[in-house]
């Protein structure tokens, strides 16, 4: 199956354009909505002309042992399902993807769900799921001859973009909200040589400004409004299906910020089903922070038919987004799969993060919303004990070490936020202690922690 032909289809009005005809802001010229990549060749491959699912599955697995650099990427390993380049030789890769799927032994016991797993996308080269999308869209930027690329970011997109731009030999521009991104992420953009502008604006303001800039200068926009980003970000769906021997889990739980990731994973599962690689879609649920929950509000007030932007506040800075660009796509994924959309408090996020940490699985606060959301769903009876559940952990714990240290020191949350949860939080805190440099003092500290 090598239908190396794609086009862009407007998610709003259905208008179709060639890939290279997209406006610099990736908005439809007719209705202003976003595009999705579509492969017209696939529609002609129905019935006996369908790709041989068994052969594809075999090929993708074989590539894991291949000597070919492209095959070492967990994104390009599946390149038959993302033929977006004229030549795969233009792919810019850091060997992203192929991330681990861990069984959560303690959380599964505590929640009474035996089959509970975490797909850790923080184990990508720059420490977040953004790498899978960036390899795809950066490759397009390179193939189309751009010299500059840019993004607005809460931190992870900029880290990924800066790294992949450096690999591709392109220059990169980063717009970030001043004082509102974690240091680990800011340091990455600097390290990889981006021009980093800190603006007195929130993420939504940064993205608005960048949308104007790309209309005035030949700079390629790499936010998730760029539909090629989502083509890369759909591939963890393939990895998850493969890990379960193509029997998909019952339920996938994803954090929601700008809502590109949930949209991409939904597209990945939908395409696998259309191509006969899997028999059904998992439910896909999206969890937001309570202070940055425009999609939750949209479902609560009008079943996802319109969205009112909010002013976003959460310490999970990665998802501090009030006006998510891909909300319509995410609504479709949630509705098509029977998923849920709910929010969790700052205290619930911090507890879930510490619980994951105590299983040896560090992650960003934004990733921990998934476990916090699952706990809520279990309590409400929305997830049955027999379900197979996968949490998508989106970022590495070292991205935001300040958050973790503040939690363990007891300085993260205020009393209003912790009210009723004090003992739970106390039980999870493991602050570093100052101890005299003698064996007796260290052994006494051990006893004290028992």
**Distance of alpha carbon 17 from alpha carbon 357, whole angstroms:** 46
Q: Does the footprint of ligand F0G cover residue 177 (CB under 6 A)?
A: no
Q: Which of 37, 366, 371, 383 binds ligand F0G (CB under 6 A)?
A: 366
Stretch that binds ligand F0G, among 69-77, 151-159, 277-285, 379-387 (CB under 6 A): 151-159
| Farthest CA pair distance, the chain | 75
Contact status: 133 vs ligand F0G (CB under 6 A): no
Q: Residue 118: CB partners within 8 Å, gap ≥ 6? A: 101, 102, 104, 356, 361, 363, 390, 391, 392, 393
| Sole window of 77-85, 105-113, 212-220, 251-259 interacting with ligand F0G (rule: CB under 6 A) | 251-259
Q: Which two tokens stand for residue 30?
A: 């007719």
Among 83, 97, 249, 257, binds ligand F0G (CB under 6 A): 257
Smallest distance from ligand F0G to CB 244, Å: 23
HSE of 365 in the Cβ direction (CA atoms, 13 Å)?
29
User: Binding of ligand F0G at residue 224 (CB under 6 A)?
Assistant: yes
Rg, Å, the chain Cα set: 22
Interface residue with ligand F0G among 73, 211, 258, 404 (CB under 6 A) is 258
364 binds ligand F0G (CB under 6 A): yes
Q: Is 395 in the site for ligand F0G (CB under 6 A)?
A: yes
Q: Is there binding between residue 413 and ligand F0G (CB under 6 A)? A: no
DSSP 290-314: GGG-HHHHHHHHHTTS---------
CA distance 175 to 186: 11
Shortest separation between residue 120's beta carbon and ligand F0G, angstroms: 11
Backbone φ and ψ of 334, nearest 5° = -65, -45
Q: Round to whole Å and give the CA distance between 44 and 61.
A: 26
Confirm or reject binding of residue 319 to ligand F0G (CB under 6 A): yes
CA geometry: angle 34, 37, 42, nearest 5 deg: 145
If one asks whether residue 156 binds ligand F0G (CB under 6 A), the answer comes out as yes
- Residues 268, 133 contacting (CB under 8 angstroms): no
Stretch in the footprint of ligand F0G (CB under 6 A) among 12-20, 30-38, 254-262, 268-276: 254-262
Nearer CB in complex with ligand F0G: 1/189: 189
Instruction: Tell me: does residue 318 bind ligand F0G (CB under 6 A).
Output: yes
Count of C-beta atoms within a 10 Å radius of residue 66 = 12
Residue 108: strand pairing partners: none
**Interaction pattern, residues 181-220, with ligand F0G; x per rule: CB under 6 A:** ----------------------------------------
Chosen residue from 124, 126, 135, 153 binding ligand F0G by CB under 6 A = 153
Considering only 74, 125, 232, 256, the residue that binds ligand F0G (CB under 6 A) is 256
What does the alpha-carbon distance between residue 203 and residue 177 come to, in Å, rounded to a whole number?
6
Instruction: Please report, as ranges, the residues that interact with ligand F0G according to CB under 6 A.
Output: 128, 130, 153-157, 224, 255-261, 318-319, 364, 366-367, 394-395
């Amino acid at each position: 199956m090598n239908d190396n032909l794609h086009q862009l289809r407007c998610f709003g009005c259905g208008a179709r354009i060639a890939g290279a005809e997209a406006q610099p802001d990736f908005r439809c010229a007719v209705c202003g909505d976003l595009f999705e990549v579509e492969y017209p060749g696939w529609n002609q491959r129905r019935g006996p002309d369908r790709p041989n699912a068994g052969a594809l599955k075999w090929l993708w697995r074989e590539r894991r042992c291949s000597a070919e650099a492209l095959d070492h990427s967990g994104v390009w390993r599946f390149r038959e399902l993302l033929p977006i380049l004229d030549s795969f030789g233009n792919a810019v890769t850091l060997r992203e993807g192929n991330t681990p799927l861990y069984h959560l032994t303690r959380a599964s016991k505590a929640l009474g769900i035996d089959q509970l797993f975490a797909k850790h996308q923080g184990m990508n080269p720059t420490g977040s799921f953004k790498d899978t999308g960036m390899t795809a869209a950066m490759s397009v930027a390179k193939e189309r001859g751009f010299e500059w690329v840019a993004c607005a970011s809460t931190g992870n997109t900029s880290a990924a973009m800066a790294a992949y731009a450096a690999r591709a030999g392109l220059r990169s521009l980063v717009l970030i909200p001043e004082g509102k991104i974690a240091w680990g992420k800011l340091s990455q953009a600097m390290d990889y040589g981006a021009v980093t502008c800190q603006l007195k604006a929130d993420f939504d303001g940064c993205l608005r400004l960048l949308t104007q800039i790309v209309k005035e200068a030949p700079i390629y926009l790499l936010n998730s409004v760029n539909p090629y980003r989502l083509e890369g970000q759909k591939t963890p769906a393939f990895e998850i299906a493969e890990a379960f021997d193509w029997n998909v889990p019952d339920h996938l739980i994803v954090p929601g910020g700008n809502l590109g990731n949930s949209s991409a994973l939904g597209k990945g599962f939908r395409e696998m089903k259309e191509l006969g690689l899997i028999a059904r879609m998992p439910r896909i649920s999206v969890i937001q922070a309570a202070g940055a929950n425009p999609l939750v509000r949209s479902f609560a007030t009008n079943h996802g038919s319109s969205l009112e932007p909010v002013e976003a506040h959460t310490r999970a800075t990665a998802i501090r987004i009030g006006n998510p660009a891909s909300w319509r796509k995410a609504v479709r994924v949630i509705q098509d799969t029977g998923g849920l959309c709910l929010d969790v408090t700052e205290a619930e996020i911090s507890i879930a993060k510490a619980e994951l940490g105590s299983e040896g699985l560090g992650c960003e606060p934004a990733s921990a919303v998934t476990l916090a959301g699952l706990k809520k769903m279990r309590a409400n009876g929305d997830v049955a004990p027999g379900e197979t559940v996968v949490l998508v952990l989106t970022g590495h714990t070292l991205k935001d070490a300040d958050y973790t240290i503040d939690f363990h020191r007891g300085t993260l949350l205020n009393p209003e936020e912790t009210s009723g949860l004090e003992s739970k939080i106390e039980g999870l805190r493991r602050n570093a202690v100052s101890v005299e440099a003698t064996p007796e003092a260290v052994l006494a500290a051990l006893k004290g922690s028992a």
